[in-house]
Amino acid sequence: MATHVMPTDWRHAVPTRSRAAGSLHYLTGHYLLLPLGAAVAFVWANVDGFSYYTVAHALAFPVNAIAMALFFGLVAQEIFEETAPGRALHQWSRWVVPMIAAAAGVTVGAIVYGLYVEWKLEPMLHVTWPVVAGVDVAFAYFVVKAVFHRSAGPPKGGHNVHPAVPFALLLALVSNVIGVVVIAPVFANAAERTGGAAVLMAAAIGVAWWLQRRHVKQFWPYIWVAGGLSWLALYLEGFHPALALLPIIPFMPHARRRLDELFADEADQRGATPRHFEHVWHYHAQAALFLFGLVNAGVVLTGYGTGTWATLAALLLGRTAGIAIGVGLALALGLTLPANLRAREVIVIALAVSVGFTLSLFFATTLLPPGPQLAELKLGALLSLLGVPLTFIAARLLHVGRFARAHVHPHGKHRGA
Amino acid sequence: MFGLFVSLSLLIAVLGAAAVAEMPQSTAAQNGPAIGPPPAPPPAALQAVRFAVIGDNGTGDQPEFDVARQMVASRAQVPFDFVLMLGDNLYGRPSAREFDDAFARPYKPLLDAGVRFHAILGNHDALDNRLYPLFGMDGQRYYTWARENTRFFGIDTNRLDDAQMAWLENALKRSFERWKIVYFHHAIYSGGTRHGSNIELRVRLEPLFVRYGVNVVFSGHDHIYQRFKPRKGITYFVEGASGKLRKGINASAESAAAFDQDQSFMLVEIAGAELTFRTITRTGRVVDAGAIGAGPTS
């Protein structure tokens, strides 16, 4: 997930823009178009369900299978760049604890989900457990960043970012990768497998490689030509085509970015490829996310059911407990947490990544066709936004981050913990 | 800026084209139970088709036994020879004992008399319940079959995927029978206060029902009985109170009859161009009755 953090003086950077353009800039910068689309959908579905579902069904495939490819491409591009030498994800050791925590979170979440479904005697819902792997990375990023806003950064290095931020993002990424791996072969709307997909995929990668060899700096040929072939290959083979850009990303032009914040981009350098294209792509992905929220988040209030509560319990309780257990297990194995992270910070981080929202919605729509069971899961994914206030409540109760008890510094200054 | 405009326009064009392709349209059948070639027109003299309808019945509790006993008693007047089951046929975990307790025992007199059951799956059913021989599903989630001048379409609204939609459209299109009856679990018209009408399913299913001349639809899920005034030529029934019961029906001008005070089942008889029905409680009280005429053969 890319999060384009606006520079504090962004209004000055775009002095000629209107207030509307500034508002749009703010919405995209804080990934608010998705919640906006979701809010519109929710109201629309409950006011005039017939017109909403008519539109939503017509848009479901193009949005979920085509437009979302841009979003996942952007996510993959961010991750790929972060794995470069010197970047945040390059050191394998940084991954280990979050990986264990994420795996434990998904496992315990799936157990809670399964137990709830079993208790309520709705066995057909068992197969939809992968919704518990979904973590809304944007929400996790902004919530963790807000909670640890006033906290001290790491003791060395001089980067003004709390280690909770990369820890939470790594945890979220691993969890989502687990979900993607599980759901990729079970694309609910897949056509019959027709074969020949391997040839198409080879052609897609070949085109991307050729573009790279030719030092093509424009990114649209990579997306439309190579990405298009890849999309077709996945679709024909029954894999989710929204993942089509993943094999193309490594061939695309990349640029080093600043090291102080994970998943934050530098300011746009107009015309400078590849720096500029990330910003352009960012807007396309945001448009896709708005449509995704609009198409998938419309659920009528009476649509709740076992799937709703199973999803909610699994995300808020199961995954949070699983992450805590996973971290405990990692520590027992002799691994260590990053500096400034202790048990109570881990609990707050675990709650921050309990929001499934976008990814849980995506996994749900992949696993089930439109209908009452899907609506139940969607409502659970939407209600997982409760994880946001719960995170702040927990942070306050546990005195974590910005809610840390102020104490008198030996030199008389007040400091947070 | 121009590049951004062009690329966004291209994206919108691609999405728009795909959306148009997703609009409801005639599609060929894909996977699904075999429908077979169109049979020859029926002979002129047809016998009456008599059946019962139960829904949300599979509790194994006393009310289910009471309803079953009343069904047996009613056969003296309306000798039905099959039963439509509208889902939630088994609330327990699938096991030989559960099937016995919640199905084979309550309906033993009917089964012994040769009455056949034709079930579809509800949200409380396991997918493998379709394999239970006495449910008459032949291992299918959705299927069609005909008796005299009536064709039945049992569909699975838990997973109404594209393949099933294509199959349903093809099956409806190829049906020549005078009566077309569709039954499934989640009601697209219901006044039940717990679930109510499933609008999302209605958007997908109703256009097909109207286009291909469906006459009657039976559903369950809300644990009530309800009949709606004909909508676009189709009469919708909710019968989800043959085992479970949950009181609470929203008042509606579209509702023709509603009952939530006791468990119930339906008796239906189709003779020529008329379908008559009765809704009977487990104590034998008739709470709704009437007749529906089939329009011209579609």
Lowest-confidence pick of A45-49, A96-100, A263-267: A263-267
Q: Which helix (H) or strand (E) holds B144?
A: strand B143-147
Q: What is the DSSP letter of A247?
A: T
Mean pLDDT of A155-181: 79
pLDDT band at A197 (very low <50, low <70, confident <90, very high): confident
Question: Which of B239, B41, B223, B29 has the alpha carbon at shortest distance from B146?
Answer: B41
Residue pair B109/B72 in contact by the 8 Å Cβ criterion: yes
What pLDDT digit, counting tens, does each position of B24-57 carry? Answer: 333 333 345 666 555 554 455 678 999 999 999 9
Query: Do you know the residue count of chain A?
Result: 417
Lowest-confidence pick of A118-122, A159-163, B77-81: A159-163
**Chain centroid to CA A399:** 27
CB of B196 less than 8 A from some CB of A: yes
- Residue A312: burial class (beta carbons within 10 Å; 0-12, 13-18, 19+): buried
> If you search the block for the tokens 């981050």, which residue do you land on?
A401
Q: Which residues of B touch A50 (CB under 8 A)?
A: 199, 202-203
Residues A107/A112/A117/A123 CA torsion (nearest 10 deg): 30
Mean pLDDT of A12-34: 71
Extract the tokens encoding A118: 């079993």
Question: Which of A311, A321, A318 has the alpha carbon at shortest distance from A347?
Answer: A321
Q: What is the mean pLDDT of chain B?
A: 88
Q: Which residues pair with B266 in a beta bridge?
A: B53, B279
Closest CB to B18: pick one of A61, A305, A306. Answer: A61
- A371 vs B159: CB contact, 8 Å cut-off? yes
Instruction: Establish, for the pair of chains A and B, how many residue pairs have beta carbons separated by less than 8 Å.
Output: 111
Distance CA B145, CA B155 (A): 12
Half-sphere exposure of A382 (CA within 13 A, CB side): 25
3-state secondary structure of A145: helix
| pLDDT for residue B170 | 97
Q: Which residues of A touch B10 (CB under 8 A)?
A: 224
What pLDDT digit, counting tens, does each position of A44-75 carry? Answer: 999 999 999 999 999 999 999 999 898 888 87
* Dihedral angle sign, alpha carbons of residues B110, B111, B117, B122: positive
| pLDDT for residue B33 | 66
Residue pair A293/A359 in contact by the 8 Å Cβ criterion: no
Query: Do you know the residue count of chain B?
Result: 298
Q: Which residues pair with B239 in a beta bridge?
A: B225
CB of B35 less than 8 A from some CB of A: no
Question: Which of A331, A359, A360 has the alpha carbon at shortest distance from A343?
Answer: A331
| pLDDT for residue A388 | 94
Q: Which residues of B touch A61 (CB under 8 A)?
A: 18-19, 21-22
Concatenated DSSP letters of A347-382: HHHHHHTT--HHHHHHHHHHHS-SSHHHHHHHHHHH
User: Considering chain A, what percentage of its residues have pLDDT values greater than 90?
Assistant: 47
Question: Which of B114, B179, B105 has the alpha carbon at shortest distance from B145?
Answer: B179
CA-CA distances (angstroms) from residue A241 to A64, A203, B266? 9, 16, 47
More confident call, A3 vs B72: B72
Q: What is the DSSP letter of B138?
A: T
User: Considering chain A, what percentage of its residues have pLDDT values greater than 70?
Assistant: 80
Give me the helices (H) in B120-192, please.
Answer: 162-173
| pLDDT for residue A44 | 95
**Chain centroid to CA B52:** 12
CA-CA distances (angstroms) from residue A391 to A14, A166, A171? 34, 17, 16
Task: Indicate if the pLDDT at residue A415 is higher than 70.
Answer: no
Residue pair B57/B89 in contact by the 8 Å Cβ criterion: yes
What pLDDT digit, counting tens, does each position of B89-143 carry? Answer: 999 888 999 999 999 999 999 999 999 999 999 999 999 999 999 999 999 999 9
User: Considering chain B, what percentage of its residues have pLDDT values greater than 90?
Assistant: 79
| pLDDT for residue B12 | 53
What ipTM was reported for this prediction? Answer: 0.82
Question: Phi-psi category of B190—alpha, beta or left, where left has phi over 0 and alpha has psi -120 to 50?
Answer: beta
Q: State the smallest CA–CA distance between residue B244 and chain A in angstroms.
A: 14
Closest CB to A62: pick one of B22, B91, B198. Answer: B22
Closest CB to A369: pick one of B31, B121, B160. Answer: B160
CB of B175 less than 8 A from some CB of A: no
* Residues A305, A309, A311: CA angle, nearest 5 degrees: 115
Please report, as a single letter, which amino acid is at residue A399.
Answer: H
- A284 vs B204: CB contact, 8 Å cut-off? no
What pLDDT digit, counting tens, does each position of B55-82 carry? Answer: 999 999 999 999 999 999 999 889 999 9
What pLDDT digit, counting tens, does each position of A322-344 carry? Answer: 999 999 999 999 888 887 788 99
